[in-house]
Structure 1
């Protein structure tokens, strides 16, 4: 069951994010009068009102801090940590900090620990995930996107161990993948893809299913895409165990959804279910003149309303006719 906070998050899209955050580059550094500022906190401590010469212009250091750019490091480019124990001790305080630069640095350390030291961080997941979720909600794009990338690395590292903590992460990633800021949206979509390839679908599909009926059409579309990607990972036996009748009803409900992404995900899922059903029942892929009792047509008509069955058969028959013609 979703928590009240999760439902509130889903029903309220985030406000527009601040525009002065960079979408791609930098490294918490900025050339200032020929020198490189590598630690924002040190700059602020030394003289919050000092000035720097940047490109011939005199600017206030506070402005300089606000305009720092952030480097988003891909997982494969992250290096290992020198002092794992010290890093582990500083994780929770770092993520709780009000200094956004420190939060981003700490999130990247969470990513490194996920990649190189997953066992050492495993016991902290219960305390860690809520703070990652807090960063996902952060209005500053640098923090939000780094938290999204952190979520993806956590999915890759811990797989099904995240099931009990998954709901708040899933809510935020669906929200972020449905917003207008493109580089945040794309990062969230990648994180959702990692989730669907990392978490066992038998556990993931029940988590996704409620979002297929969310009142926000973008949320429904992203959830539909995740659902469609997850089902094939069940395999033939897994699909039968989960219930092909349940799955066809889910797919049929998405065929008439508002957004094309939902409808396309439904079509993809239906073709997968048709293939599994016909293989399981030893059926031919040709279109019979009269539906047999165990045929795909009969199965659809027995599990769906007449209109839904007609829509499903239209989709699957068109695809099958195309295969026959092309063979």
Structure 2
């Protein structure tokens, strides 16, 4: 069972309870339970790794929400201290996290979100083949109104763009830039913009500078300001990368174009003008 610090008898919490660190009380076996959210650096290692792994496998399919939170925290411990022990069950673990993010209990949901961040940090590119359903849920949770869940999801998305290589992640993010939900588009745009600077010049060329600039243009007129700001940041990053490559390029067989010529050749007149306004403003700021 969970420690006394995690589940304890208490009175109903006042309305001023700090929801960023604790979950509103719930009844467990006739007792009021409170879930505390433990930061990664404060999670202790296991005393018995093999025994804990067996318990983890037992808890993966539990319907007891308190045990589920405990299981998720143990997944976090494994990813921090013994990630090789769960490498072979990574798909099953991510399925568990996705399930927790869909759980109506915000305690389970937030614990699952925190687990996803630790998984990204531990496994990086190894999670890419299992990422799609988890990415969708994180974008949805980061777009909702419950602030302490939303903020946790945003932190998890930052971990995702930090520890998963941009070249693998960008194709996963791209479909969500056209999502019907403007908030999902905005969060996806912000992730996309954060990832692009991690591309090397050759990766940027392989992905397609033309494709990247078209994506930036498409978000410039989006509904939410977060999308538009992410688009401007993306365009400025592409401009810097393009001019650096343009001025340093030595391949005589490749015809070189200025940034203005590149925009004129690859974008419509209106789109090209919009991009040049952004980069011109960036120079002046």
Instruction: Please indicate, yes or no, whether the TM-score normalized by the shorter chain is above 0.5.
Output: yes
Q: Is the Cα contact below 8 Å between 1:95 and 1:132 reproduced in 2? A: no
Q: Is the Cα contact below 8 Å between 2:76 and 2:119 reproduced in 1? A: yes
Q: TM-score, normalised by structure 1?
A: 0.76
RMSD between aligned alpha carbons?
1.6
Unpaired runs of 5+ residues, structure 2, are 12-27, 249-254
Q: Is the Cα contact below 8 Å between 1:177 and 1:189 reproduced in 2? A: yes
Could you say which residue in structure 1 is the equivalent of 2:271?
308
- Give the whole-Å Cα distance in 1 for the aligned partners of 2:241 and 2:147: 36
Per the TM alignment, residue 171 of structure 1 is displaced from its structure 2 partner at its CA by: 0.5
Could you say which residue in structure 1 is the equivalent of 2:261?
298
Could you say which residue in structure 2 is the equivalent of 1:219?
184
Q: TM-score, normalised by structure 2?
A: 0.87
Distance 1:293 1:116, change over 3 A: closer
Per the TM alignment, residue 302 of structure 1 is displaced from its structure 2 partner at its CA by: 1.0
Extract structure 1 runs of 4+ deviating beyond 4 A. Answer: none
> In the TM superposition, what whole-angstrom CA distance separates every residue of 1:187-237 from its partner, at most 9, and x where no partner exists?
000000000001111110000000000000000000000000000001223
Report 1:33-52 matches (<5 A).
44=29
Per the TM alignment, residue 89 of structure 1 is displaced from its structure 2 partner at its CA by: 1.4
1:178 counterpart = 2:157: no
Q: Is the Cα contact below 8 Å between 2:246 and 2:256 reproduced in 1? A: no
- The equivalent position to 2:99 in structure 1, one of 109, 130, 134, is 134
Q: Is the Cα contact below 8 Å between 1:176 and 1:185 reproduced in 2? A: yes
1:279 counterpart = 2:258: no
Greater CA deviation, 211-220 or 304-313? 304-313
1:244 counterpart = 2:209: yes
Could you say which residue in structure 1 is the equivalent of 2:131?
166
Unpaired runs of 5+ residues, structure 1, are 1-25, 33-42, 45-61, 284-291, 323-327
Per the TM alignment, residue 253 of structure 1 is displaced from its structure 2 partner at its CA by: 0.3
- Give the whole-Å Cα distance in 2 for the aligned partners of 1:293 and 1:155: 39
Q: Is the Cα contact below 8 Å between 1:155 and 1:194 reproduced in 2? A: yes
- Give the whole-Å Cα distance in 1 for the aligned partners of 2:245 and 2:96: 45
Could you say which residue in structure 1 is the equivalent of 2:280?
317
Could you say which residue in structure 2 is the equivalent of 1:28?
7
Work out which of the two has the higher radius of gyration on C-alpha atoms and give 1 or 2. Answer: 1
State the structure with bigger RCO (CA 8 A, min sep 6), 1 or 2. 1
- Give the whole-Å Cα distance in 1 for the aligned partners of 2:256 and 2:172: 34
Q: Is the Cα contact below 8 Å between 1:205 and 1:230 reproduced in 2? A: yes
Could you say which residue in structure 2 is the equivalent of 1:88?
53
- Give the whole-Å Cα distance in 2 for the aligned partners of 1:100 and 1:224: 33
- Give the whole-Å Cα distance in 1 for the aligned partners of 2:221 and 2:138: 24
Could you say which residue in structure 1 is the equivalent of 2:221?
256
Could you say which residue in structure 2 is the equivalent of 1:37?
none
Could you say which residue in structure 2 is the equivalent of 1:105?
70
